[in-house]
Structure 1
Amino acid sequence: MADHHQWVPKARNYPRERKDYSLERQPTRAHPLSGLQRPTPSSATSKEAVNGGGVSSKTSSASNAKSAARTTGAKSAGFIDPLSMMSADFEPAVVEVRGGGGGKTAAPLTKEQMIGSWGVKKESILSKFTTTERLTLTSSYLSGDDRVVTVTKSNLVADRIQSRLEQLDSFEAGSMKEMLNLTQQEYVNKIDQLHSKLQTAWRDDQRVTALKIAIQLSKLLADISPLQFYPSKFVLVTDVLESFGQLIFDRIAEKGGSPGLGGKEDYNAEAAKETCRNWFFKVASIRELLPRLYIEISIMRCITFLEPRSVFAEMVPRFALMIRGIGDHLVASYARCYLARMVIQLAPEILPKSIVLVEDFVASMQQLGLTKLKRKLTDQKLDMSSYVLLHQPALEWITDCYAKQSGVEGLERLLRMAEDSNYTGLLLNCVMTSFKADLVSRSPMKICALIQKNSEDVFPTYILCRTLGLCLMNADTDPKERKKIMNEIWSLVADQGNPQSYISAAEIWVEFAAKFFTVKEVNRVLGDIISHLLPDRAYESCSAVLLQILERLIKHLRSFSLLLSMDKFMPFIDMLQKEEQRLEAAKLLLDAYTKYHQDSAIDPVIINGVLFASKIVHDSISSLSSEDEKRSASVLVCGFLRRIEFGSDFERQLNFYADCRGAFSNLDDVAEFLVHAVNNLAMSARAIQRGHHTRKTAAFVRACVAFSFITIPSLYDIPAQLALYLESAEVALANQCLGQADALIKAAIQLFNASKEELEVFATKMKPAGKIAAEFASNLLALMLVVPDPPEQGILYLVRGILNTIQSCDELVKRPLQMQLLAYASAARQEDYAYHVEGIDSNDRLYGPDPDFLQELDNIASTCLSELLAAVAVLHNAKQNAQAIKMAHELLDIVLAHGDLTKCQSALAILVGFVKTYDPKTVASLRKLAESRRRTDGTAWECLLELL
């Protein structure tokens, strides 16, 4: 049996303590964030910059209005918040990186800006141009066992020449072997193997072997079958060739004695120059045009060891003339692409000269024999437009390079070329993709005429319509021309017979209409989409695009009243038939409503529509749904519920929450939100009544408390239930509903008693079960301090219930609760409590100095103190010193904070002696604390100093 220790709390004077321990405050004239404030640009300048001389769109006007409202509100309030100022009127800095208006040349781009987009384009090509056909690869380095050639390093020139000659003799023409029936992935793996062998050969000083591998890879680009895989083959091979060129460059730099340097005009190292000439001579000796061309382009960076950088301007026309000798148009197109790719890396200042590559491309396509080509495409089971699309990545990269250093003149030049070409669509699409949208939008009617001229058999018209729409969406077009453009293009879109082609183009122009026109035009466009997709249930294959259209509509028509005012909107939504499609649409609508809906007026049509979407999201949740899915659905639904406010009609608000409780029963987070919302509703009613309820408002508050009491048990999360019970009890107490408050507290105690063993299920590493219990006990006892005892139940009825519950708890849970109970007993024994609830007489006023009441508190406190000291001794005897020290520290904190040190000396002596023995580092802190408090609290802290 544990030794009995008497607990005597110290008398507290809370008003004096608040005064003594509060920090001094001084008024300040400067806002602490005022150093972050920046000057605000004038509104006139801002409008001119955004709208381009007075032409404004709906979006920009709305944003300017919101910005003005924020600024005006801040000034009228007499206080300017620096954070609000920074976000109110500042537009992001825009750096011109492409050709600007008026024929002026844009600011030059950095090398990183220019070559950065190739990685994105490369990934796009590899994912788009694939094949299921079997492929063929010819090489002498992947057949049978790998040949190993040992090179003996020697300082004698004759020995090195002999070694190279032996390498050349070891690879005869007869060693070439053809690998058939390779899948695409196997083909890619073989290319990677050749790349690895090239690097290995280079590391082993087998330069000829590396060159031969590069030649064999270059020869693969002469084979265009299968056609649809050729762009991906080009990417795979040229990546290896670029690596090969870099190896040669680094080798030459090392020869010159300055590894890592390159491209300097004053580079005069004779060894580097000699090595460089040898490599160019080796490449020039390659008999076949295609491998010689590709490898020379890959090493063209090395010319800077021999000539100044200006030589690049002479090399580009020479390479362009060489490419004219390639017989196949597809092969020639990608050879030009590779040349442009190297030029943009090595000499971006000569990009305007890349116009010759575009001219050669157009001229070669003009000479294309359609009859012979169509026969060839028939054998490949490919139509003409699909073949032309194979050229698009190559031409697009060339025009993109040209557009980076050209302006309006460059655009007009390419448009004239497109007008005169038989392949107008291909060149026009590349031009619109490459040039800045502001430039393209200057000639919209001319581009519309070129699109109408396009031959559908040669290039798909819907792609041109889609590309133009993307350009106009990202530029400020003349408002007078928008409707004419819309009519011209939509007639072309509507003529598309293929539903996939139609909806792909319509997706962009629906957004164009939503951004620049009224809902009347948008409604008309939606009606046309419905009429195109309803026959033969074509909408079933277009569900992904329909969802994107919905997202684009919501982006610009943010008002739900506008969306629902269109009679074609709901039929459009009805085309989303599958469950997962309707779910995504519902999520889009809910997310948009949460973000954009600003109308404070309650429209039943809108509420019912969004509530229907919320039910779709809710009904998608089942017992198999993951926690992330439940959390995501709850966030959307709670976001919707948070926006619904019926103003001062509190009863209607409560009825709405009651309906939602039944509609969203699968989502615990929603139920928890509803309890918080109803509690807030009750407190709002109290605020309006200023704490003095009428019969009607009192009944309403009791209905709110009853709502919470019924809803809380439906939650699965026990810690959440406990917290909500206490919150609801506080609300009931604040509204003088003592019976309801008692019922809620009892329910919380009973739940804790019944589920204390299950707290481990909800525990985490950061919040173990003991901490959950201690947190609940702290909040419960803080509430119990102001809750008067029920007259019919006797003194400390609810507290005794808590004490009985604690006795049956596990040790890890029990000890923190006893410490909280010890602190409660000390606070409850004061003559005047630290806080009260308006209109409620707490036990300090109910009992006053009643000896029975005080004796009961002393018995509870002394029992808890004795058991806690015994627990420390048990842990110490069990050699669990770490836990014993932790508990001793926590208990010592309670004693120092709440106990009368002059009358609790036995307990204080035990704890201080334990700390001095096992944690001597704390002694100095305790001594410093006692000395500082002795000046104000007198002899109480001298007891502690004597023990230390």
Structure 2
Amino acid sequence: AVEVNTLLGDVLKHVGCDQSHEQVHYPALLALVSTALTNSPDAQTLFTMNHFQGLLSVFQRDSVSTGDGVTRGVVEALLAHHPGDFTDPTLVQHLLTFCGALHDSINALTTDDEKRQLSLLITSFIHQVNFGNDFEQQLDFYVNARAAFSNLDSVLVSLVQCVCQLAMATWGKIRGMHTGKTAAFVRACSAYCFITVPSLASPVTRLRLYLLSGSVALLNNCLGQGDACMKAAIREVLEVAGTQETITFSQSGEILCPIVANLASALIATPDPPDVSPPLYLLRGLTNAVRTYSWPKDTDLQAMMSISLLHALSAAAQDVLPYHVHSVEGNDTLYGGDPLVKQEAEQLSSVLLQDVLSHIKGLTGIQEKRSGPLTQGLFWFHLYTHSSPVTLYEPQHAYPSVHIPPPPSSSCPPHKPIPPPLPLPPDTLLLLLHIYAHPSAPPSLPPPTPTHAQPPPPPPLPRSLGQKSHPG
């Protein structure tokens, strides 16, 4: 090791004597670095040599040639032979120079496969940089990397994900109790994501990253940044729907429906902005985005997304929301049980329900079989919103002579049923059941059930349960 360090120092001395022609020796110096990394039996010792670090500092980004592939070989050798993560700021800066030279070599003649390989190489380098608990230095590195690799979308996606992970690591360190310094830091992380995402070309990727960034911002109590990300995600729904030039609507449906359902679920726990008057402002925006786009008639995307929104509106209208974000007050606390919330949810749900029913009734002929999944979705929505805890936890109400013990979680408080915000009319429910049971028959309405009809009597009890025991 001492001899190698001495040899590298002699090389640096000869190169330093002729700085005017320093760039002429770059190919030979790169080959020397690659050979030292490949043939070194102990790479960890090589990285501790001061002359090896000095040899790496010779190269400048604007002067490194990438046409012969030596630079890429040096980066691959550095990543392969370096033990563990990169924690030395000087070595990280050298690698950033080499990777920046590879990024600058991309031109109009570069193939997609070469871009993919370079993106994987640079992403691997980014994931290996770890400054431990120095989160500020880690964020500074991500800022420099964004400036260095602005033309590779996959690298930018990795950077946004790394910054979100950095914000969550901060949240884990302080266990959700932010101080003034940590709150400013996570706001800077949220701003980084919000600025970086619009530069991506794919609207699907932008939608997913906006949803991820908004969720992370809300968990860190960055309400302004979280609200901005959620609004941007709602706008991206229309952008994804308008990309039928590159992807088919069947592919768009497979992508959009799960993302819209996740977005609607996130909006349940997202508080409304303080400067808006109608409740459920964000859910109304997502509803308008789904309804205003001109969807093709041969797809069921709008109906499927409308059913997902019906579930979200039903949950958002409850007196107590089914879940909350840590240290963030939900709409149930902000509005304090205001009846305007339920009125708004009922109004939006009625419009969505009419759209779904109109779409189902319009499916005729060979397209009638498509009504099955839609009616099933509405049927399950009706069951979820009208399920009574009595039938689940107290079946002895139906059979008074049979005693069934309650669930083992007796320490939990008793569950009080919440009236559903959107009851389906009986005629509509019967129509849905008829369409689902007979997809090939025309959707005619069965005769309504008389309101004065008595409920059917309970089934007879088994003799062994109905008999009274007598003393011997």
User: Letter of the aligned partner of 1:906 in structure 2?
Assistant: D
Between the aligned partners of 1:604 and 1:544, the Cα distance in structure 2 is: 21
SS in 2 for 1:880: helix
Between the aligned partners of 1:688 and 1:540, the Cα distance in structure 2 is: 45
Aligned partner of 2:39 in structure 1 is 553
Q: Which has the higher helix share?
A: 1
Question: Do the aligned partners of 2:368 and 2:440 also contact (CA within 8 Å) in 1?
Answer: no
Q: Is 1:778 aligned to residue 261 of structure 2?
A: yes
Aligned partner of 2:271 in structure 1 is 788
User: Letter of the aligned partner of 1:711 in structure 2?
Assistant: T
Classify 1:539/1:796 alpha carbon distance in 2 versus 1 (closer, same or farther; 3 Å).
closer
SS in 2 for 1:704: helix
Between the aligned partners of 2:141 and 2:128, the Cα distance in structure 1 is: 12
User: Letter of the aligned partner of 1:861 in structure 2?
Assistant: S
Q: Is 1:807 aligned to residue 291 of structure 2?
A: yes
Q: Offset of 1:776 from its aligned partner?
A: 2.1
Instruction: Note the alpha carbon deviations across 1:692-740, whole angstroms, 9 max, x for none.
Output: 2222222122111111111110111111111111111111111211122
Q: 1:659 aligns with which of 115, 131, 144?
A: 144
Classify 1:645/1:549 alpha carbon distance in 2 versus 1 (closer, same or farther; 3 Å).
closer
Aligned partner of 1:884 in structure 2 is 371
Aligned partner of 2:438 in structure 1 is 917
Question: Do the aligned partners of 1:558 and 1:592 also contact (CA within 8 Å) in 2?
Answer: no
Question: Do the aligned partners of 1:523 and 1:566 also contact (CA within 8 Å) in 2?
Answer: no
Aligned partner of 2:204 in structure 1 is 719
Classify 1:624/1:798 alpha carbon distance in 2 versus 1 (closer, same or farther; 3 Å).
farther
Aligned partner of 1:864 in structure 2 is 352
Classify 1:840/1:919 alpha carbon distance in 2 versus 1 (closer, same or farther; 3 Å).
farther
- Give the 5 Å matches for 1:211-230: none
Q: 1:823 aligns with which of 311, 326, 333?
A: 311
Classify 1:760/1:580 alpha carbon distance in 2 versus 1 (closer, same or farther; 3 Å).
same
Question: Do the aligned partners of 2:99 and 2:122 also contact (CA within 8 Å) in 1?
Answer: yes
User: Letter of the aligned partner of 2:281 in structure 1?
Assistant: Y
Between the aligned partners of 1:700 and 1:593, the Cα distance in structure 2 is: 31
Consecutive unaligned residues of structure 2, counting only runs of 5 or more, are: 15-23, 389-419, 442-454, 460-472
Aligned partner of 2:381 in structure 1 is 894
Q: 2:158 aligns with which of 673, 692, 702?
A: 673
Between the aligned partners of 1:690 and 1:568, the Cα distance in structure 2 is: 42
Between the aligned partners of 2:28 and 2:327, the Cα distance in structure 1 is: 65
Between the aligned partners of 2:361 and 2:5, the Cα distance in structure 1 is: 79
Question: Do the aligned partners of 1:760 and 1:768 also contact (CA within 8 Å) in 2?
Answer: no
Between the aligned partners of 1:760 and 1:719, the Cα distance in structure 2 is: 14
Question: Do the aligned partners of 2:86 and 2:128 also contact (CA within 8 Å) in 1?
Answer: no
Aligned partner of 1:705 in structure 2 is 190
Q: Offset of 1:585 from its aligned partner?
A: 3.1
Between the aligned partners of 1:647 and 1:542, the Cα distance in structure 2 is: 35
Q: 2:172 aligns with which of 674, 687, 694?
A: 687
SS in 2 for 1:648: coil
SS in 2 for 1:758: coil
User: Letter of the aligned partner of 2:38 in structure 1?
Assistant: R
Between the aligned partners of 1:833 and 1:596, the Cα distance in structure 2 is: 52
Classify 1:547/1:826 alpha carbon distance in 2 versus 1 (closer, same or farther; 3 Å).
same
Question: Do the aligned partners of 1:523 and 1:569 also contact (CA within 8 Å) in 2?
Answer: no
Classify 1:607/1:525 alpha carbon distance in 2 versus 1 (closer, same or farther; 3 Å).
closer
SS in 2 for 1:918: coil
Q: 2:328 aligns with which of 805, 830, 840?
A: 840
Q: Offset of 1:672 from its aligned partner?
A: 1.2
Classify 1:547/1:684 alpha carbon distance in 2 versus 1 (closer, same or farther; 3 Å).
closer
Between the aligned partners of 1:624 and 1:740, the Cα distance in structure 2 is: 39
Q: Is 1:606 aligned to residue 127 of structure 2?
A: no
Aligned partner of 1:94 in structure 2 is none
Classify 1:893/1:633 alpha carbon distance in 2 versus 1 (closer, same or farther; 3 Å).
farther
Consecutive unaligned residues of structure 1, counting only runs of 5 or more, are: 1-517, 532-537, 921-937, 943-948
Between the aligned partners of 1:572 and 1:739, the Cα distance in structure 2 is: 45
Question: Do the aligned partners of 1:782 and 1:824 also contact (CA within 8 Å) in 2?
Answer: yes
User: Letter of the aligned partner of 1:849 in structure 2?
Assistant: G
Between the aligned partners of 1:830 and 1:817, the Cα distance in structure 2 is: 21
Classify 1:916/1:666 alpha carbon distance in 2 versus 1 (closer, same or farther; 3 Å).
same
Instruction: Note the alpha carbon deviations across 1:448-504, whole angstroms, 9 max, x for none.
Output: xxxxxxxxxxxxxxxxxxxxxxxxxxxxxxxxxxxxxxxxxxxxxxxxxxxxxxxxx
Question: Do the aligned partners of 1:634 and 1:667 also contact (CA within 8 Å) in 2?
Answer: yes
Aligned partner of 1:565 in structure 2 is 51
Instruction: Note the alpha carbon deviations across 1:334-388, whole angstroms, 9 max, x for none.
Output: xxxxxxxxxxxxxxxxxxxxxxxxxxxxxxxxxxxxxxxxxxxxxxxxxxxxxxx
Classify 1:554/1:819 alpha carbon distance in 2 versus 1 (closer, same or farther; 3 Å).
farther
Classify 1:653/1:888 alpha carbon distance in 2 versus 1 (closer, same or farther; 3 Å).
same
Aligned partner of 1:620 in structure 2 is 105
TM-score scaled by length of structure 2: 0.72
Classify 1:548/1:607 alpha carbon distance in 2 versus 1 (closer, same or farther; 3 Å).
closer
Q: 1:850 aligns with which of 338, 342, 351?
A: 338
Instruction: Note the alpha carbon deviations across 1:721-778, whole angstroms, 9 max, x for none.
Output: 11111111111111211122111111222233345312553x479x710122212211
Question: Do the aligned partners of 2:360 and 2:374 also contact (CA within 8 Å) in 1?
Answer: yes
Aligned partner of 1:587 in structure 2 is 72
User: Letter of the aligned partner of 2:366 in structure 1?
Assistant: K
Between the aligned partners of 1:883 and 1:674, the Cα distance in structure 2 is: 42
Between the aligned partners of 1:571 and 1:736, the Cα distance in structure 2 is: 42
Between the aligned partners of 1:676 and 1:662, the Cα distance in structure 2 is: 16
User: Letter of the aligned partner of 1:908 in structure 2?
Assistant: L
Larger radius of gyration: 1
Between the aligned partners of 1:836 and 1:647, the Cα distance in structure 2 is: 31
- Give the 5 Å matches for 1:205-244: none
Between the aligned partners of 1:919 and 1:527, the Cα distance in structure 2 is: 87
Question: Do the aligned partners of 2:26 and 2:59 also contact (CA within 8 Å) in 1?
Answer: no
TM-score scaled by length of structure 1: 0.38
Instruction: Note the alpha carbon deviations across 1:541-586, whole angstroms, 9 max, x for none.
Output: 9999979746633675356615763489559999x985322xx333
- Give the 5 Å matches for 1:391-402: none
SS in 2 for 1:838: coil
Aligned partner of 1:70 in structure 2 is none
- Give the 5 Å matches for 1:120-269: none
User: Letter of the aligned partner of 1:672 in structure 2?
Assistant: V
Between the aligned partners of 2:30 and 2:99, the Cα distance in structure 1 is: 21
Instruction: Note the alpha carbon deviations across 1:388-430, whole angstroms, 9 max, x for none.
Output: xxxxxxxxxxxxxxxxxxxxxxxxxxxxxxxxxxxxxxxxxxx
Percent identical pairs in the alignment equals 32
Between the aligned partners of 2:214 and 2:158, the Cα distance in structure 1 is: 16
Between the aligned partners of 1:559 and 1:892, the Cα distance in structure 2 is: 68
Question: Do the aligned partners of 1:746 and 1:798 also contact (CA within 8 Å) in 2?
Answer: yes
SS in 1 for 2:67: helix
Between the aligned partners of 1:572 and 1:659, the Cα distance in structure 2 is: 20
Q: Offset of 1:661 from its aligned partner?
A: 0.8
Question: Do the aligned partners of 1:615 and 1:663 also contact (CA within 8 Å) in 2?
Answer: yes
User: Letter of the aligned partner of 1:634 in structure 2?
Assistant: S
Classify 1:606/1:541 alpha carbon distance in 2 versus 1 (closer, same or farther; 3 Å).
closer
Aligned partner of 2:234 in structure 1 is 749
